[in-house]
Amino acid sequence: MITINEHFLKLQSSYLFSTIARKVSEFQEKNKDKEIIKLGIGDVTRALPPACIDAFSKAVNEMGDDSSFRGYGPEQGYQFLREKIAGEDYASVQADISPDEIFISDGSKCDSGNIQEIFGTEIKIGIPDPVYPVYVDTNVMAGRTGIFENGRYTGLFYLESTIDNHFIPAIPSEPLDLIYLCFPNNPTGATITRDVLAQWVEYAKKHKALILYDAAYVAFIRDPSLPHSIYEIDGARDVAIEFRSFSKTAGFTGTRCAFTVVPKTCMAYDTKGNSHQLHSLWNRRHNTKFNGVSYPVQRAAEAVYSPEGKKQVQNLIDYYMTNAALIKTEMEKLGYSCTGGENSPYIWVQAKMNSWDFFDMLLEKAQVVCTPGSGFGKCGEGYIRISAFNNYEKVKEAMERITRVL
């Protein structure tokens, strides 16, 4: 008899963004004449930068000619892209990361979800609340938690991010083994300073712990004093893995390209206390389960770093950040307290009512989709997240509609 992985039965019935998509399509089915504006899931709407399109098309043409055709590429990614990333994203901020510590992949969702496979089952995990649900759900699937009760999984250590701590969780007083951090934060839009990040690195060193640092929204940082990478902090190479993505930076949500940095000095331990390089474990996993991102997509990603690519990407980011500023200003004018939107494409709004009720009200009365904060965790109750990813005219109209109904 085939049996199932019963840990899946502990999961909430559906992934947050699937629940929202279902609710939106049910509403649309009943209200065919209504035009819905989506500021829910953080999905980009603007075309890829022309520099990426040129590189993409050129690479597609190479694939159409026997003399330049490529079959399987290196699972870890082509050297041309890994070198660009090491130089442009890391050497430029004095972070010592070499190209062979960079693993190109098809997304940070997949990487941040898959990485837990290389860790022990008995580890103590610190997960912020609210949080990107993938970190939690993948650990539930792997059997690292107990049941879901009172809005939380037993067995996880929740790092509360609330208005009282400016949405930056406090350093835990007890030793944890694995800590998830995401800055600029999804969903709250909060940012972390170099000093506070340094305290986390120190904590991880002290407890032989590991930080999984999700920097998918780094391109939206405008304040130059904020760290762009955890590797800007001394010693972070030994205790942190970093995730980055071209999805939000350059509009690759449908094109798929991201990368994960696993420094060779980053160690974890077996039950006897012997240390092991996480780099070689992740490399082994990658070789076995992944066949690389397609050559044309990697060429398109490489073009992000060309002089014209950089300008075009900056224009994209500026465009979405204009939306973010508009959303924040309008919500504040309406008397709602907001976080984010300054170094992040997300605006975290104190809804003054239940998150899902606010979501339903905006959908029904304004036909605007947001994301209910409680979908990101218990501490998200009473908040909603508004995404700046849409066309400016749509965002403007959404804000006019919201202003009318609130």
End-to-end CA distance of the chain: 56
Binding mask 94-133 for ligand MLT (x = CB under 6 A): ---------------x----------------------x-
Region near ligand MLT per CB under 6 A, out of 38-46, 98-106, 269-277, 327-335: 38-46
Q: How far is CA 359 from CA 37, 162, 178, 259, 355, in A?
A: 13, 20, 33, 33, 6
* Nearer residue to ligand MLT within complex by CB, 41 or 60: 41
* Helix/strand/coil for 348: strand
* Nearer residue to ligand MLT within complex by CB, 295 or 376: 376
Sign of the C-alpha dihedral computed for residues 348, 352, 356 and 361 taken in this order: negative
The set of residues, in sequence order, having a beta carbon less than 8 Å from that of 98 and lying 6+ positions away, is 86, 264
* Nearer residue to ligand MLT within complex by CB, 292 or 380: 380
The tokens for 302 are: 């490489």
- Count residues near ligand MLT (CB under 6 A): 6
* Nearer residue to ligand MLT within complex by CB, 201 or 317: 317
Give the one residue of 11, 36, 41, 141 binding ligand MLT; rule: CB under 6 A: 41
**8 Å CB contact between 253 and 247:** yes
Region near ligand MLT per CB under 6 A, out of 5-13, 40-48, 175-183, 280-288: 40-48
* b/e 328-351 (16+ beta carbons within 10 angstroms → b): bebbeeeebebbbbbbbbbbbbbb
| C-beta nearest to ligand MLT: residue | 42
Min separation Cβ 105 and ligand MLT, Å: 13
* Nearer residue to ligand MLT within complex by CB, 43 or 62: 43
* Nearer residue to ligand MLT within complex by CB, 39 or 86: 39
186 binds ligand MLT (CB under 6 A): yes
* Helix/strand/coil for 50: helix
| Residue 359: alpha-carbon gap to chain centroid | 22
d(CA 77, CA 292): 6
Min separation Cβ 163 and ligand MLT, Å: 20
With residue 347 as reference, give the H or E element that holds it: strand 346-350
Which residue ranges make up the site for ligand MLT (CB under 6 A)? 41-43, 109, 132, 186
